[in-house]
């Protein structure tokens, strides 16, 4: 079980078309298969499927982490340091409204990481992060 394969994540959205455009045009994810009720995306090499759920609630809970209210649940991806910084610029140019603006945690310590949070049009919270040293992803 050492070989890592792409993950598959299916999430609900309350508006398929607005989320389809968001993941494709705003986040730059390549669209794959689709139907009237779902759409596949290449989410940074992983399979993300958005499923229409007209009853989806947009409310989120949060937990305090380092003085910030981190939305739960959330999902995302860990990017290389330079890719993360380029993506921050890309998202800023797209005028993304951040829940938690890009910032660096544990500066100079084990597990130094940059992170940011924002929501898709259906209220799903996403976290993108990067570790200064990828070997320290699980450092204590």
- Regarding whether 68 and 130 lie in a shared domain, the answer is yes
- Regarding whether 114 and 81 lie in a shared domain, the answer is yes
The bridge status of strand 38-43 relative to strand 46-52 is: antiparallel
pLDDT of residue 89: 96
- Regarding whether 67 and 130 lie in a shared domain, the answer is yes
pLDDT of residue 1: 55
Determine if the pTM surpasses 0.85. yes
- Regarding whether 130 and 80 lie in a shared domain, the answer is yes
Q: Is residue 103 part of a domain?
A: yes
Whole-number Å distance between alpha carbons of 50 and 19: 8
pLDDT of residue 119: 95
Residue 110's CATH number: 3.10.180.10
Q: What is the mean pLDDT of each run of 10 residues along the chain (140 residues)?
A: 82 96 95 97 96 82 87 93 95 94 91 94 95 86
- Regarding whether 126 and 102 lie in a shared domain, the answer is yes
Tell me which residue range forms the domain holding 71: 62-136
- Regarding whether 76 and 38 lie in a shared domain, the answer is no
Contact yes or no for 78/86 (Cβ under 8 A):
no
Structure-block tokens of residue 27: 């986040």
């Amino acid at each position: 079980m050492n070989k890592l394969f792409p993950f598959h994540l299916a999430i609900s959205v309350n508006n398929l078309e607005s989320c389809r455009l968001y993941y494709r045009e705003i986040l730059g994810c390549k669209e794959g298969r689709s139907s009237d009720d779902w759409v596949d995306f290449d989410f940074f090499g992983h399979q993300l499927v958005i499923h229409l759920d007209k009853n989806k609630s947009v409310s989120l809970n949060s937990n305090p982490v380092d003085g910030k209210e981190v939305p739960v649940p959330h999902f995302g991806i860990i990017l290389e340091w330079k890719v993360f910084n380029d993506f921050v610029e890309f998202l800023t140019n797209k005028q993304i409204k951040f829940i938690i603006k890009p910032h660096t945690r544990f500066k100079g310590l084990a597990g130094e990481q940059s992170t940011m949070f924002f929501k898709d049009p259906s209220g799903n919270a996403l976290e993108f992060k990067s570790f200064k040293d990828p070997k320290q992803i699980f450092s204590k």
